[in-house]
Amino acid sequence: MDNQMIRVLVIDDEEGLADFMQRILSLKGYAAFMETDGVGAVNFFKNERPDIVLIDIDLGYSEIDGVEVLKRIKEIDKNAVCIMVTRITDEESVKKSKEYGAMHYLLKPLDSKDIVAAVDEAARVIRQRRAS
């Protein structure tokens, strides 16, 4: 199964960074989408059910932060594959994200190789689930 069959939602309030991640993933063949607001992202997830979600923990201008986005997404689909993206290394956010089922953590500033490697690994998990 090629990457085009894998849908990725990028959530970051920094529109330039969200666009960068979306373009990188699109170039690698993923069907990538972006949201810059937590509430909008949860609604997108509810309606579109992407396979993988990259979530910025600090959604500064959003009503809800990334940890709350993760929690709400997992309430919709407990098997959702989520990768947290952050500048913040506060242990409480890390702990809550792990409790809610985040698969990975990526630290900003982001390198395109790190983004692709994390999404590729998540895509392998998705493919394994679909094959079984």
The pLDDT value given to residue 4: 64
Q: What is the dihedral of CA 8, 9, 14, 20, to 10 degrees?
A: 20
- pLDDT tens per residue across span 86-114: 887 778 888 899 999 999 999 988 899 99
Q: Rounded CA gap, 116 and 54, in Å? A: 11
Categorize the per-residue pLDDT at 33 as very low, low, confident or very high, splitting at 50, 70 and 90.
very high
What rounded mean pLDDT belongs to the chain? 93
The mean pLDDT value for 44-52 works out to 98
Range of the domain at 51: 3-131
Which pTM does this prediction carry? Answer: 0.94
- pLDDT tens per residue across span 2-20: 676 999 999 999 999 999 9
Radius of gyration of the chain (CA): 13
Categorize the per-residue pLDDT at 71 as very low, low, confident or very high, splitting at 50, 70 and 90.
very high
The pLDDT value given to residue 126: 95
| Domain tally, the chain | 1
The CATH number of residue 85's host domain is 3.40.50.2300
Q: Rounded CA gap, 19 and 10, in Å? A: 8
